[in-house]
Amino acid sequence: MSSIVLFGPPGAGKGTQAARITQTTGLPQVSTGDMLRAAVKNGTKTGIEAKKYMDAGKLVPDSIIIDLIKDRVQDPDAVKGLMFDGFPRTIPQAEALSNIIEVTHVIAINVPDERIVERICGRYSCGSCGIVYHDTFNPTKQDGVCDECGSTDMKRRADDNEDTVLQRLSAYHEQTSPLADWYDGLGILRNVNGDKAIDEITKDILIALN
């Protein structure tokens, strides 16, 4: 069993690329957020424990996340490995993961901070159908009107502002720089330029995986 770890700053396009990697490799995509929500919804032992922290507005401890992953690797679709999206975020998490499953490829999608700010702060979506737009890269054809459903209910997330994005980027760099160095020391880190067209990024990732 072998696995892929994909990481990058918020707004780097991890979700888009993760879906493409999954489609190409057949490895199921694993997001700790999705696993937490599923465990809570299903009322599993780990989910009940995690819910205590989530309801209190606290971070779920690494030990619970690791327990979720231990459960996940037992599922039939994980027999050939998994594709981790945004996990691990720290060296202790990476060390714990290495005791559960073999990570053979780590892909870091790198995007300059100023581009991340531009990407995130320009996002808005239709409140009716959920289609996501962007001031610069994907604006609506008619100002303030959804191309898909015609709604004028356009929304922006409250945390999609420059100050918040810069805080998130600072936290990301503080946590992830040591993690990248750790994986690089194992010889399995591959850096990919995420400031390119989506198809070009996918091509570079698939080359790195091969």
**pLDDT values of the chain reduced to their tens digit, one per residue, 210 residues:** 579 999 999 889 888 899 999 999 999 999 888 888 889 999 999 999 999 998 888 888 999 999 999 989 999 999 999 999 889 988 999 999 999 999 999 999 999 999 999 999 999 999 999 999 999 989 999 999 999 999 999 999 888 899 999 998 998 899 888 999 999 999 999 999 999 999 999 999 999 998
Structure tokens at 167: 């805080």
For the chain, the helix, strand and coil percentages under 3-state DSSP, each to the nearest 5? 50, 20, 35
Task: State the catalytic residue, choosing from 37, 89, 115, 203.
Answer: 89
Q: Residue 190 catalytic? A: no
Q: Which CATH architecture has domain 2-112+173-209?
A: 3-Layer(aba) Sandwich (3.40)
Q: What is the pTM for the complete model shown?
A: 0.83
Q: Residue 14 catalytic? A: yes
Structure tokens at 80: 């050939």
Task: State the catalytic residue, choosing from 37, 51, 168, 203.
Answer: 168
Task: State the catalytic residue, choosing from 37, 51, 123, 196.
Answer: 123
Q: How far is CA 131 from CA 60, 125, 151, 158, 199, in A?
A: 30, 5, 11, 17, 20
